[in-house]
Amino acid sequence: MAIFAMSANSAKRRSRRTSPTEKAARRPPQPKASAARTLERAFQTFADAADSLQKAYAQLQGDVLRLRFELERSNRDLASSVEENARMRRYLGRILESLPSGVVVVDRDGQVKMANPTARFFAIDGSRTPGGGRERTGSAAGNC
């Protein structure tokens, strides 16, 4: 018969021994598992970024569409305004042309910019004005 003696320390060591399943649970993660988790996180980050980009792109498309409609409306308004301006100029030009009085428009330097037919009849250069000289009167002569 064999007698074994155990010291207190060896009893503690023996009680600390764990089963292989417990050892596996306590081991740090295997490199393959860690790499798989890292890759999974990277794919999730990529998917989140792609989703965010898709939402931003959809919003940009909406903004572009809205701005395009606003630009078209502004262009229509501008074209209408230009046409109205041209109509008004033609209307005022017809009024100016039909006035029985002579009308001469001059700039600040006294250069003739416009004259109606009556003013042209009297030859703007003064050759048909009474006294043969150029007549200047009121604000039309020098305040333009």
Q: What does pTM read for this prediction?
A: 0.46
CA 140 – CA 100 distance, rounded (Å)? 17
Lowest mean pLDDT among 12-16, 23-27, 119-123: 12-16
Instruction: For residue range 97-110, list pLDDT tens digits in order.
Output: 999 999 998 999 98
Backbone conformation region of residue 132, classed left if phi is above 0, alpha if psi is from -120 to 50, else beta? left
The residue extents of the domains of the chain are 31-98, 100-144
User: What is the DSSP secondary structure assignment for residue 2, as one 8-state letter?
Assistant: -
CA 102 – CA 135 distance, rounded (Å)? 12
**CA 110 to each of CA 20, 68, 87, 90, 139: distance values in angstroms, whole numbers, following the listed order:** 111, 47, 28, 25, 12
Residue 5 or 88, more confident: 88
- Rounded average pLDDT over 73-79: 97
